[in-house]
């Protein structure tokens, strides 16, 4: 099935998911949409998050996608069920794959979750974790300064370290967790800084790897896997500044994708 996979995110964070999809599914074409102009979604109202997500979905649906990956934790928390119910194609988010990876990693059943304000207030990770393992303890913390910083391309250095230390102060102070879920796909771009602040003893979980595995499994079940090799024909759409998007894409992929386009919704 040679139709593309659609990937949506509030900005550039979902590129970390796209990277893993490209690694694990080299025969697949991705069409990525990052709504960088209206990012971050984490401080938006529920109605705005739902509206913006559906606008991205409608755009990608015109590209004849065969599956949708919601590479945004906030959008996953508020739209996954309705999208799964209303779209005629398979749809997955990043929360359940991230929760499963955390359950595998934790030894003491105390898991930290950092995410946007909307994701944390939705309790989506806590629900997903406790559905798998009811006895687990979840320590959640909103980090609203992370996404705007990443969207500006500030991924390391003194400013990044200062913001991460300030944001994680309360979580570190009451540190019983042995596993930390990066509950926003922007946050893996700060992983090295986060790890240096919280220490090497803590296992950091990104949902990207597990999400790509689940995507592969679902494509196989639905007989939708592509069989022909691809020649880097992935397409990336953004609503924001092209140069910032190109810069961050180059950091993630180690080269700049050929097809990056700016669009309006």
Q: Would you list the DSSP string of 17-61? A: HHHHHHHH-TT--EEEEE-GGG---TTS-HHHHHHHHHHHHHHHH
184 is catalytic: yes
Burial label, 209 (beta-carbon count in 10 A; 0-12, 13-18, 19+): middle
Is residue 58 located within the same domain as residue 22? yes
Lowest-pLDDT range of 41-55, 165-179, 235-249: 165-179
Cβ(243)–Cβ(153) below 8 Å:
no
Average pLDDT over residues 44-55: 97
Mean pLDDT of the chain: 93
Q: Are residues 152 and 179 in the same domain?
A: yes
34 and 123 in one domain? Answer: no
Do 130 and 191 lie in one domain? The reply is: yes
pTM: 0.91
DSSP string, 215-259: HHHHHHHTT----S---S--EEEESS-HHHHHHHHHHHHSS--SE
Contact 181, 102 (CB under 8 A): yes
- Domain of 101 in residue numbering reads as 95-207
Quick one: 83 and 125 in the same domain?
Answer: no
- 187 and 231 fall within a common domain: no
Kindly tell me if the per-residue pLDDT of 5 is higher than 70. Answer: yes
Predicted confidence (pLDDT) at residue 1 exceeds the cutoff of 70: no
Task: Using the predicted structure, report yes or no on whether residue 216 has a pLDDT greater than 80.
Answer: yes
Closest CA relative to residue 9, chosen from 238, 254, 263: 238
The DSSP bridge partners found for residue 113 are: 140, 181
- Banded model confidence at residue 92, pLDDT cuts 50, 70, 90: very high
Count up the domains in the chain and report the number: 2
> pLDDT grade, residue 235 (50/70/90)?
very high
pLDDT tens digits for range 17-32: 999 999 999 999 999 9
Which one of 189, 207, 225 terminates a domain?
207
Amino acid 227: pLDDT:
83
- Residues 88 and 158: beta-carbon distance below 8 Å: no
Q: In the prediction, which pLDDT does 131 show?
A: 95
Domain's final residue, options 207, 235, 253: 207
Q: Give SS3 for 103.
A: helix
Residues 65 and 75 in one domain: yes
Are 216 and 246 in a shared domain? yes
Give me the mean pLDDT over the 42-66 stretch. Answer: 96
Question: What pLDDT shows up at residue 176?
Answer: 86
Task: Choose one of 192, 207, 222: the last residue of a domain.
Answer: 207
Q: Are 119 and 94 in contact (CB under 8 A)?
A: no
Residues 133 and 32 both lie in one domain:
no
The predicted-structure confidence for 99-157, as pLDDT tens digits, reads as follows: 999 999 999 999 999 999 999 999 999 999 999 999 999 999 999 999 999 989 899 99
214, 88: one domain? yes
Per annotation, catalytic residue among 65, 120, 184, 249: 184
Cβ-contact 207, 94 below 8 angstroms: yes
Q: Looking at the structure, do residues 108 and 151 belong to the same domain, yes or no? A: yes
Q: Do residues 130 and 48 share a domain?
A: no
pLDDT tens readout for residues 161-196: 999 999 999 888 777 899 999 999 999 999 999 999
Is the Cβ–Cβ distance between 19 and 206 less than 8 Å?
Answer: no
Residue 230 has pLDDT above 80, yes or no: no
- Residue ranges of the binding site: 9-10, 41-42, 73-74, 185-186
* Residue whose C-alpha is closest to residue 155's, from 183, 191, 125, 184: 191
Q: Rounded CA gap, 163 and 19, in Å? A: 26
pLDDT of residue 168: 94
Choice among 25, 72, 99, 113 that is catalytic: 72
pLDDT of residue 228: 80
Residue 164: give its domain's CATH number: 3.40.50.1860
Distance CA 64, CA 2 (A): 10
The pLDDT > 70 percentage for the chain reads 98
Binding-site residue numbers for substrate are 9-10, 41-42, 73-74, 185-186
């Amino acid at each position: 099935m040679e139709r593309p996979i659609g990937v949506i995110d509030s900005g550039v964070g979902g590129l970390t998911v796209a990277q893993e999809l490209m690694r694990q599914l080299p025969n697949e074409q991705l069409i990525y949409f990052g709504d960088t102009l209206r990012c971050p979604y984490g401080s938006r109202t529920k109605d705005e998050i739902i509206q913006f997500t559906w606008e991205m979905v409608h755009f990608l649906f015109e590209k004849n996608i065969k599956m949708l990956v919601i590479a945004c934790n906030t959008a996953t928390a508020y739209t996954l069920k309705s999208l799964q119910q209303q779209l005629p194609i398979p749809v997955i988010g990043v929360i359940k794959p991230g929760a499963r990876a955390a359950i595998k990693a934790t030894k003491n059943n105390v898991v930290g979750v950092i995410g946007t304000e909307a994701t944390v207030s939705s309790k989506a990770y806590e629900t997903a974790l406790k559905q798998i393992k009811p006895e687990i303890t979840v320590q959640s913390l909103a980090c609203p300064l992370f996404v705007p910083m990443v969207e500006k391309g500030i991924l390391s250095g003194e400013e990044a370290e200062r913001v991460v230390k300030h944001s994680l102060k309360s979580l570190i102070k009451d540190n019983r967790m042995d596993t930390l879920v990066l509950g926003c796909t922007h946050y893996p771009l700060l992983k090295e800084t986060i790890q240096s602040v919280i220490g090497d003893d803590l296992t950091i979980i990104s949902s990207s790897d597990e999400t790509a595995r689940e995507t592969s499994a679902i494509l196989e079940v639905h007989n939708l896997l592509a069989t022909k090799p691809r020649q880097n024909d992935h397409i990336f759409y953004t609503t924001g500044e092209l140069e910032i998007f190109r810069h961050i894409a180059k950091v993630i992929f180690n080269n700049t994708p050929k097809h990056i386009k700016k669009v309006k919704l």
